[in-house]
Structure 1
Amino acid sequence: MQLIVKQVYNNNSLLVKVGKVREAIVEGKGIGFGKRRGSKVDSNKITKIMYVGDKEDQQQFSSMLKNIPLDIVLVVFYSIDQAKDKYGLALLNYLYLTLSDHIFQMYRKKENGTYQLNQLPSLKDRYPVEYQAARDTWMNINQKLGVNFPPEEIKSIALHYISAKGEEENEEEKSGHNLISNINEIVENIFAAHGIVRNVSNQNYFDRFMVHLQYLVDRVENKNQDSQDLSNIISNNLKEKYPKTYAISQEITRELEDKLNIYLTENERLYFIIHIQRLIQE
């Protein structure tokens, strides 16, 4: 099948048109060198391909590849692929974006001396597979990037693996754009009521949360939400530590469930708290 360049991200990453209707991000050493929009791509040079469903997906991945150093992207992509192959984890593609951005933000904070240990309880007992995959990722990052993230960072990485569990759909099976629009509108209205807006300091966390909401649609429609509660200890800990964020999360949950007639698991509520607290802090 013919692959035509739509956008060159860098020497190793391209957005391409696959056939008549599909688009994908492809990677390969030197695959983008000398390429322009409309150029043909040698499929033999491709080492990784990720299909993207709509313009929002494309914009998110484009932003990631432009702003995050390639060495971070490559080690994260390698680690996610390793987690899939070694542990048989089914993970949604948006993890490539959110985990790369997370590591980049932590790397920057480490560099400028603002890095702080996370307060998450251990997830090792409840999610041993995801935790072990996260430990491998943590080791890869420290070794390949020459940084020294503490072992506590494994918990944050594990949470990314837990929240991204699921099977990607074929392009023909994808739907739910109206639901995505409705969810975004509800969340943005509640944010506006609480004075939460996207700005320079929180844009990465804001965008990461919006990506999470996009894939929430897939989990809801395919009944693929994580049904194993993280634990009441985590919920109570976050409620006590971040009462304002907890209240906003509960408001969003109630609005989504009431207006869209959907059900959100306790884990989804916790993910909301973590995402919202991060963007408020920034």
Structure 2
Amino acid sequence: MKINKVLNNNVVVTTNQHGQEIVVMGKGLAFQKKVGQRIDEDKIEKNFVLQDTGTSEKLNQLLQDTSDKYLDIASEIYEYARSILPYKLNDYLYIALTDHISFAITRMKEGIQLKNTLLFEIRKYYKKEFDIGLHSLDIIEEYTGIRMNEDEAASIALHLINSQLSGENMEMAVQVTDVVNKVLNIVKYHYKTEIDENSINYERFLTHLRFFTVRFLREEHIEETIDEFFYEQVQSKYHQAYKCTEKIATFLEKNFNWVLTKDDMVYLTIHIHRVTYRQRKTN
């Protein structure tokens, strides 16, 4: 690999074996290096493909205007998150975190603190990501001496959630959180009970809701696989859960113009039954 552009001592732009322009990062990777020289590939810690010219220009500006300290903070948060989370993180997360942390610290120094309106939902529905956000506050304080509040932990968690959604924009992460919150509220009001948020079934239900929502937001259509007999069996056996699913279907169609398939109805019904059955039995 040869250097096409030096962004700073730790980051260069090069070309991979497929002819794609990529960013590669590593401690001291470009120290005393010039365009055209070879990269020490043993020093490469992470890399990602530049999808378009706009991304390349934004990245170039960000890294030239950002202290290496913020790159180091983002790198430590990225590696910590990668060691904790069960899903693969999008490589662009490293840049998104650097940008967010740099801007957040600048705001803090100017005495500006922004409220995260999704703090409650993120803390409740994305516990792993929020815990990583809290740990990130410790990392930031260690490097800068500045202690941020839980709103910033939630904002970092949103970047992790966004990365889980395979590079979608932050607006989608917010939409997913909002829809999941409203669907869960429908379930709680229907059964007039709280849900055990520590149960495995609750975690499964959350995961299903997140990706169910992403599919609709991306307008991804799937073929029906549920036959009529099985659909009627589920409808009959889990009558109460099916009634709840009907309420969810009505809400989604009215507010988002999402029409649920029989597959969607069946899987939602089964998850709702599982997440409420044990608690209703105990009560």
TM-score by length of 1: 0.58
Report if aligned partners of 1:134, 1:154 keep a CA contact under 8 Å in 2. Answer: yes
Q: Is the 8 A contact 1:52 1:58 kept in 2?
A: yes
- Measure the CA separation in 2 of the matches of 1:154 and 1:12: 26
Tell me the residue number matched to 2:90. Answer: 92
Which has more radius of gyration? 2
Distance in 1, Cα, partners of 2:46 & 2:73: 13
| Shift in Å, 1:166 | 3.5
Distance in 2 (CA, whole Å) between partners of 1:161 and 1:20 is 28
Q: What residue number does 1:231 align with?
A: 181
The aligned amino acid for 2:55 is D
Match of 2:152 in 1: 153
Q: Which residue of 2 aligns with 1:133?
A: 132
Alignment-derived partner of residue 5 in structure 1: 3
User: Which residue of structure 1 lines up, in the alignment, with residue 164 of structure 2?
Assistant: 165
2:47, 2:91 within 8 Å by CA — same for their partners in 1? Answer: no
Percent identity at matched positions?
Answer: 23
Residue 124 of structure 1 aligns to a residue whose secondary structure is helix
Aligned to 2:103: 105
- Matching residue of 1:21: 19
Tell me the residue number matched to 1:276: none
Distance 1:149 1:50, change over 3 A: same
1:210-233 CA distances to partner (integer Å, 9 max, x unpaired)? Answer: x828x97xx9xxxxx958834239
Instruction: Report the CA distance between 1:46 and its aligned residue.
Output: 1.8
Using the TM superposition, give the Cα deviation of residue 120 of structure 1 relative to its aligned residue in structure 2, in angstroms. Answer: 3.0
Structure 2's unaligned 5+ residue stretches are: 184-217, 221-251, 256-283
Cross-structure match for 1:143? 142
CA distance in 1, matches of 2:166, 2:88: 6
1:69 corresponds to: 67
CA distance in 2, matches of 1:147, 1:228: 30
* 8 Å Cα contact 2:48-2:92 kept in structure 1: no
Looking at structure 2, the residues matched to 118 and 130 of structure 1 have their Cα atoms a distance apart, in angstroms, of: 15
Q: What is the CA-CA distance between 1:75 and the residue it aligns to? A: 1.0
TM-fit CA distance, 1:88? 2.2
Q: Secondary structure at 1:142's aligned position in 2?
A: helix
Q: 1:25 is paired with a residue of what secondary structure?
A: strand
Q: Is the 8 A contact 2:115 2:151 kept in 1?
A: yes
Change (3 A) 1:92 1:46: closer
**1:5 offset after TM fit, Å?**
0.5
Q: Which amino acid aligns with 1:6?
A: N
Counterpart in 1 of 2:169? 212
Q: Which runs of no fewer than 5 residues in structure 1 stay unpaired?
A: 169-210, 220-224, 234-260, 270-282
TM-score, normalisation: structure 2: 0.57
Aligned with residue 54 of structure 2, among 41, 53, 56: 56
For residues 20-53 of structure 1, give each alpha carbon's deviation from its aligned partner in whole angstroms, at most 9, with x where no partner exists. 5022211222221222221111112222222323
Q: Would you say the 8 A contact 1:28–1:47 is kept in 2?
A: yes
Contact 1:80 1:96 in 2 (8 A): yes
The reply on whether 1:30 has 2:28 as its aligned counterpart is yes
CA RMSD of aligned residues (A): 3.5
- In 2, Cα distance between equivalents of 1:152 and 1:135: 10
- Cα drift, residue 108 of structure 1: 0.6
